[in-house]
Amino acid sequence: MKKESGRVVRERKTVEEMVKLYCHQHHDTQGEKLCDRCSVLLNYAFQHIEKCKFHPEKPTCRNCTVHCYSKKNKNTIKDVMRFSGQRMMLRFPALTILHLIDGWKDKKRQEEYFKAEELKNK
Ligand SMILES: [Zn+2]
């Protein structure tokens, strides 16, 4: 089994809670339950976290340079994140802050990565 980095575990947890929040408010579900459509979406998101080619050091999806979601799913997940983003901060402040920090670190790492690539291609 591939070793999971903390950030991947966090990413999965973050997306799960976001979809839950969204589904509870929009589709009248409760607790651990999700409606069919949202379970499919969440599974889709999980699969893409697993499949991510940067795994296990994957950047948070917001910062990712590869847009691996289909157009339809991308729009749906964007809605979910827009809706749940601020609410996550209230409900899961620690998780949200760690996730944001992961994002900031990515920016730096990506800049370094692109710089290195540029030098290679010169
Ligand atoms: Zn739903």
The residue written with tokens 């402040």 in the block is 93
Measured in Å, residue 43 CA sits from the centre of ligand 1 at 13
- How many CB atoms sit inside 10 A of residue 99's CB? 19
CA-angle at 54, arms to 9 and 113, nearest 5°: 120
Task: Answer yes or no: are the C-beta atoms of 45 and 29 closer than 8 Å.
Answer: no
Measured in Å, residue 8 CA sits from the centre of ligand 1 at 23
pLDDT, tens only, 92-101: 898 888 888 8
Measured in Å, residue 21 CA sits from the centre of ligand 1 at 9
* Alpha carbon distance 29, 56 (integer Å): 32
pLDDT, tens only, 3-47: 667 888 888 999 999 999 999 999 999 999 999 999 999 999 998
